[in-house]
Amino acid sequence: MSQLGGLFDDVVSDVDDVFLFSPSGSLYQRSVEADVPTVVVGTDNGVGADRYVELPLEFENVRERVRFGVEGGLDNGFIEEGDQVACALGLFVEDIDTVTRVRAGEFERSGVYQLFVNSRAEPAVIRNVLEVAIELGKKGQKGKRVGALFVVGDAGKVMNSSRPLSYNPFEKSHVHVGDPIVDVMLKEFSRLDGAFVISDAGKIVSAYRYLEPAAEGVDIPKGLGARHMAAGAITRDTNAVAVVLSESDGLVRAFSGGEIILELDPEAY
Partner 1 sequence: MYALAVGSWFRELSAPAQNLIVAVVVLLAGLIAGAIASVAVRRVLVATGVGDVVEGTPFDRTARRIGSPTVQLLARISGVFVFAVAALYAARTLGLVPEELLIEQIGRFLPRLFVAVFVVLIGLVIADKTELIIDERLRSVKLPEATVVSTLAKVSVLYVAVLVALSQLGVATGALLVLLAAYAFGVFFLGGLAFKDLLASAAAGIYLLLSEPYAIGDEIEIDDRRGIVQEIDVLVTRIENDGEEHVVPNRKVFTEGAMRVRD
Residues that bind partner 1 (CB under 8 A): 154-160, 171-172, 174, 197, 199-201, 203, 205-206
Find the shortest distance in angstroms from Cβ 172 to partner 1.
5
Find the shortest distance in angstroms from Cβ 160 to partner 1.
6
In Å, what is the CA distance from 128 to each residue of 63, 69, 75, 131, 200? 22, 19, 23, 5, 12
Find the shortest distance in angstroms from Cβ 184 to partner 1.
22
Measured CA angle at 226 (ends 209, 259), to 5 deg: 95
Of the pair 62, 159, the CB lying nearest partner 1 is at 159
Of the pair 203, 228, the CB lying nearest partner 1 is at 203
Q: What is the C-alpha separation between 93 and 98, in angstroms, rounded?
A: 10
Of the pair 135, 200, the CB lying nearest partner 1 is at 200
Burial of 28 (0-12, 13-18, 19+ CB in 10 A): middle
- Strands 17-21 and 38-42, bridge-based pairing: parallel
Please give the distance of CA 169 from its chain centroid, rounded to a whole number: 27
Measured CA angle at 142 (ends 139, 148), to 5 deg: 55
Find the shortest distance in angstroms from Cβ 173 to partner 1.
10
Find the shortest distance in angstroms from Cβ 171 to partner 1.
7
Of the pair 54, 64, the CB lying nearest partner 1 is at 54
Q: What is the C-alpha separation between 147 and 258, in angstroms, rounded?
A: 19
Of the pair 88, 155, the CB lying nearest partner 1 is at 155
- Strands 259-264 and 252-256, bridge-based pairing: antiparallel
Find the shortest distance in angstroms from Cβ 157 to partner 1.
7
Q: Residues with Cβ < 8 Å from 134, sequence gap 6 or more? A: 252, 264, 266, 269
Of the pair 21, 196, the CB lying nearest partner 1 is at 196
Q: What is the C-alpha separation between 90 and 98, in angstroms, rounded?
A: 6
